Amino acid sequence: MHWWQPAVLSLLMVTNLYVIFGYAPVERTMGIIQKIFYFHVASAWIGFFAFFVVFAAGIGYLRTRRDSYDRLAVASAEIGTLFTTLVLVTGPLWARPVWNTWWTWDARLTSTLVMWFMYLAYIVLQHSLSGRTRARLAAVYGIIAFANVPLVFFSIRWWRSLHPVVIATDGGGLSPPMVHTLLFSLFTFLILYAFLLQYRTRILELAQQVNDVLHCAYGQEDDVV
């Protein structure tokens, strides 16, 4: 990791806050609370992308048995779960003043919650077992769990839902500055994801090296992380 990467990320995050609160107009109906939209949607999309990386890394591990794919899957699942947690937190904060409810068991919200629990279970699996058996089971589970991601994405298009369709064929009712802000937020969160992924995979790699040393020295394998 290079010294300039945290500096670039910090600059992007500060600029993103300015774009959201200074450049993007205040929505006519919902008012200032609509600003949560840019964090909520960007977090959701990055969560989807992170879980796709888990899916792809699982396939890569099953084909090659390389530990690097396993570490990539673990790190991406943890980060994707973090972003999905942000989705589940910002959603009710947005919904309460706009729709007068914190939560409703509609298709989008329920399927998102199920997806969150599925990847929490994935993380528990990754940290409960050890060795090749763990890696193989986790890879298979990560591939199967990804089936819920398109279900979450298309749920509001397939069923009536309190949750609005953000990007529709008519543009979703967003003005050009709002679209620009959303895209910049998505780009910023993508860079944040890449930074966290690089940082976490490096930690997992170092932990594996420590475990290998312990295994050679004491004839046992202790999970450091």
Mean pLDDT of 99-107: 77
Mean pLDDT of 104-119: 87
Question: pTM (2 decimals)?
Answer: 0.86
pLDDT digits (tens, 9 = 90+) for 72-94: 999 999 999 999 999 999 988 88
DSSP-derived letter for residue 167 is S
Mean pLDDT of 137-153: 92
The domain ranges of the chain are 32-218
Confidence at residue 174, expressed as pLDDT on a 0 to 100 scale: 80
Confidence at residue 167, expressed as pLDDT on a 0 to 100 scale: 54
Give the percent of the chain with pLDDT over 90.
56
Q: Choose among 81, 113, 89: nearest CA to 36.
A: 89
Identify whether the C-beta of residue 77 lies closer than 8 Å to the C-beta of residue 116: no
Identify whether the C-beta of residue 146 lies closer than 8 Å to the C-beta of residue 80: no
Confidence at residue 171, expressed as pLDDT on a 0 to 100 scale: 47
Q: How confident is the model at residue 4 (pLDDT cuts 50, 70, 90)?
A: confident
Strand partners, 27: 31
pLDDT digits (tens, 9 = 90+) for 15-34: 999 999 999 998 888 888 88
Question: Exposure pattern of 91-102 as b/e (b: 16+ CB <10 Å)?
Answer: beebbeebeeee
